Chains A and B, each alone.
Chain A
Amino acid sequence: GAVVSQHPSRVICKSGTSVKIECRSLDFQATTMFWYRQFPKQSLMLMATSNEGSKATYEQGVEKDKFLINHASLTLSTLTVTSAHPEDSSFYICSARVIAGNEQFFGPGTRLTVL
């Protein structure tokens, strides 16, 4: 099956700093990538949908200026958590949709801890 990678897998940062998380589709091209956030013992909550070459669409309640998403190519999307605070600590998962397909593949996730 198709592989989606995320980097880093784990990051610890100080409050007020910015953190960038990369999501790559390794062996396929993805026009659409999704970013989810998962708090402990909870489900995945969609944060935003990004399409290659266009602005991301954010879910209600998600601050677009805080969670910057860039989808510059068909294989790479990045999520930048700006001025991170402890409440941003969570597990972030990306997912990529195959071009003209119905398959959607998930990355292994990134655990963010903000001190």
Chain B
Amino acid sequence: AQTVTQSQPEMSVQEAETVTLSCTYDTSESDYYLFWYKQPPSRQMILVIRQEAYKQQNATENRFSVNFQKAAKSFSLKISDSQLGDAAMYFCAYRSSRYNNNDMRFGAGTRLTVKP
């Protein structure tokens, strides 16, 4: 079974600075998807960024980018120019590309605090 590990329960960053959230995963599959979700106090899950495992290029979405290291099974999220609105729980998630086993597995989460 696939597992997702986020080793940082809490992280803090100064406004306008850069922070990196770590995520590792364990899988025997070669094709899969990785995601970072943001969960603000409203509890609504918001997709931040996604990465297809077959793509070597790291995904980017404005201030958010990932460092995808397939061999190391690492998928970190970098937030540049942090804003107060970035404060939230961040979950790393894995999903197999196989149709019969395509539910999403989440890490334990990292609580990000942004200091003004």
Q: Which residues of A contact B (CB under 8 A)?
A: 32, 34, 38, 42-46, 49, 91, 93, 95, 97, 102, 104, 106, 108-109
Contacts and interface: CB of A to CB of B under 8 A. Distances in A.
Contact of B45 (A45, A46, A93): A93
Contacts of B84: none
B104 interface: yes
Interface of B: 33, 37, 42-45, 91, 95, 102-109
A95 B37 CA distance: 13
A-B residue pairs, 6 tightest by C-beta: A106-B45, A43-B106, A109-B43, A44-B106, A43-B108, A108-B44
A32 to B, nearest CB: 8
A49 B103 contact: yes
A2 to B, nearest CB: 11
Given A44-B45, A95-B45, 14 more contacts: A34-B104, A42-B108, A43-B108, A44-B106, A45-B106, A46-B103, A46-B105, A93-B45, A95-B104, A102-B33, A104-B104, A106-B44, A108-B44, A109-B43
Contact of A46 (B44, B91, B104): B104
A50 to B, nearest CB: 11
A70 B79 CA distance: 39
Contacts of B107: 43
A49 B42 CA distance: 24
Nearest to A110: B43
A38 to B, nearest CB: 8
A72 to B, nearest CB: 20
15 contacts: A42-B108, A42-B109, A43-B91, A43-B106, A43-B107, A46-B104, A46-B105, A49-B103, A93-B43, A93-B45, A95-B45, A102-B33, A106-B45, A108-B42, A108-B44
Nearest to B105: A46
A45 B105 CA distance: 8
Contacts of B95: 104
A109 B103 contact: no
A44 B91 contact: yes
B103 A34 contact: yes
